[in-house]
């Protein structure tokens, strides 16, 4: 099915008003692309932490793009209606709300479901000497020495393709011992905890602050037959500080890792291994200093692309 993607240039103040107009003419979705939303998330240190290009701040206050998707056969009629409503909005909002240019643009797009398109390009990924990450819809004939982690991973981050995840899996294979208790903070799809159990961990505790990630990790754990040896919690960290991990992983971002340096070591057994990933070079020293200050010793450092991973000994 083909669609017309209609784009309107507006402002932060006008974006919701434009969005409301578009929703009157489509059942196929409306998106708002506003750099100010990203900046707001960056400043909200209570919940969301991430990296962003410093140049984005210079774009604050610029054009906001509101897009809707119209079936090709009725697109022209609906575009005329949207345009008329935008002109009416401009008249009514004059002097009260800054709407920007309300300039429109359009392009024809294919309406293929993005998940099906994505699935066509996802293949088994070999990471390190033992781990193979495989989409659940592909049959894979494993070798005796391999550990296969099957993922239905369209709901949460963590397929093994990203450098931060692959480095964690490489370090996990090196430092995990049979019978270890593993704790994964910010578990995403659950890939690290599931892989740990399948490589011999006694139990894995997984946490994430994202409800979608928690559901995804639970689903993937059941898919891999590891549900009885994993526990997934919707939280920043383990609520039970008495649970001690022989090995802990946290593949998040450097700012969060620095903040959690006050908490994560409390759940690491003495002599245990802590694997951290999701660190860019400009934040590397900060993370090292934060965990060294808690008495942890750096054992190893990996580097792939623009990302770094660290292994500490407790």
**Rg (the chain; Cα; Å):** 23
The whole-angstrom distance between residue 105's C-alpha and the CA centroid of its chain comes to 30
Given this model, what pLDDT does residue 254 score? 93
Tens-digit pLDDT profile for residues 141-193: 999 999 999 988 555 456 777 899 999 999 999 999 999 999 999 998 999 99
Which pLDDT score, from 0 to 100, does residue 156 have?
46
Indicate whether 106 and 121 sit together in one domain: no
Per-residue pLDDT at 56 exceeds 50: no
Residue that is last in its domain, among 111, 130, 153: 111
How confident is the model at residue 2, as a pLDDT?
A: 85
Q: Are residues 272 and 133 in the same domain?
A: yes
Q: Are residues 139 and 240 in the same domain?
A: yes
**Residue-number span of the structural domain to which 301 is assigned:** 117-313
Query: Domain ends where: 63, 94, 111?
Result: 111
Number of domains observed in the structure of the chain: 2
CATH number for the domain spanning 288: value is 3.40.50.150
Q: Is the pLDDT of residue 112 over 90?
A: no
pLDDT computed for residue 143 by the predictor: 93
Say yes or no: 246 and 164 in one domain: yes
Domain end position, chosen among 95, 111, 127: 111
**pLDDT score at 83:** 96
On the question of pLDDT at 132 being above 50, the answer is yes
In sequence order, what DSSP letters do the residues of the chain get, joined into one string?
A: -EEEEEEEEE-HHHHHHHHHHHHTS-SS-EEEE-HHHHHHHHH-TTT------THHHHTTTS-EEEEEEEEGGGHHHHHHHHHHHHHHHHHHHTTTS------EEEEEEE---HHHHHHHT---EEETTTEEEEETTS-----TT-EEEEE--SSSS--S-SHHHHHHHHHHHHH--TT-EEEEES-TTSHHHHHHHHTT-SEEEEEES-HHHHHHHHHHHHHTT-GGGEEEEESSS-S-TT--EEEEEEES-HHHHHHGGGTGGGGEEEEEEEEEEEEEHHHHHHHHHHHHTTT-EEEEEEEETTEEEEEEE-
174 and 90 in one domain?
no
CATH number at residue 100: 3.30.70
Contact 231, 208 (CB under 8 A): no
Is 269 in the same domain as 224? yes
Together in a domain, 291 and 166: yes
- Domain shared by 92 and 149, yes or no: no
Q: How does DSSP assign 40-100, residue by residue? A: HHHH-TTT------THHHHTTTS-EEEEEEEEGGGHHHHHHHHHHHHHHHHHHHTTTS---
Domain identity same for 83 and 143 = no
| CA 155 to the chain's CA centroid | 9
How do residues 243-255 score in pLDDT, each as one tens digit?
A: 899 999 999 999 9
Q: Are residues 99 and 21 in the same domain?
A: yes
Whether the CB-CB separation of 18 and 10 falls below 8 Å is answered with yes
What's the CA gap between 163 and 278, in Å, rounded?
9
Do 47 and 126 lie in one domain? The reply is: no
177 shares a domain with 136: yes
């Amino acid at each position: 099915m083909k669609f017309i993607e209609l784009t309107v240039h507006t402002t932060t103040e006008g974006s919701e008003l434009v969005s409301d107009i578009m929703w009157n003419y489509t059942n196929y979705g409306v998106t708002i692309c506003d750099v100010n939303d990203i900046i707001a998330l960056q400043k909200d240190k209570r919940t969301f932490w991430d990296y962003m290009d410093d140049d984005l701040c210079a774009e604050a206050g610029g054009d906001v793009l509101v897009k809707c998707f119209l079936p090709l056969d009725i697109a022209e009629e609906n575009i005329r209606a949207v345009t008329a409503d935008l002109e009416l909005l401009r008249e009514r909002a004059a002097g009260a709300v800054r709407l920007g240019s309300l300039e429109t643009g359009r392009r024809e797009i294919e309406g293929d479901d993005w998940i099906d398109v994505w699935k066509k390009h996802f293949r088994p990924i070999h990471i390190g000497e033992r781990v193979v990450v495989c989409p659940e819809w592909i049959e894979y004939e494993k070798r005796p020495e391999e550990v296969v982690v099957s993922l239905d991973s369209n709901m949460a981050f963590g397929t093994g393709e990203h450098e931060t995840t692959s480095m964690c899996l490489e370090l996990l294979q090196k430092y995990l011992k049979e019978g270890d208790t593993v704790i994964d903070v910010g578990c995403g799809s659950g890939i690290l905890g599931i892989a740990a159990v399948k490589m011999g961990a006694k139990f894995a505790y997984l946490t994430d602050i994202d409800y979608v990630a928690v559901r995804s990790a639970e689903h993937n754990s059941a898919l891999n037959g590891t549900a009885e040896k994993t526990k997934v919690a919707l939280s920043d960290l383990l609520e039970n500080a008495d649970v001690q991990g022989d090995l802990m992983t946290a593949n998040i971002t450097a700012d969060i890792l620095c903040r959690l340096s006050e908490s994560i070591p409390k759940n690491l057994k003495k002599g245990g291994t802590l694997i951290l990933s999701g660190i860019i070079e400009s934040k590397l020293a900060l993370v090292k200093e934060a965990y060294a200050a808690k008495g942890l010793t750096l054992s190893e450092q990996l580097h792939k692309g623009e990302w770094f991973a660290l292994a500490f000994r407790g």
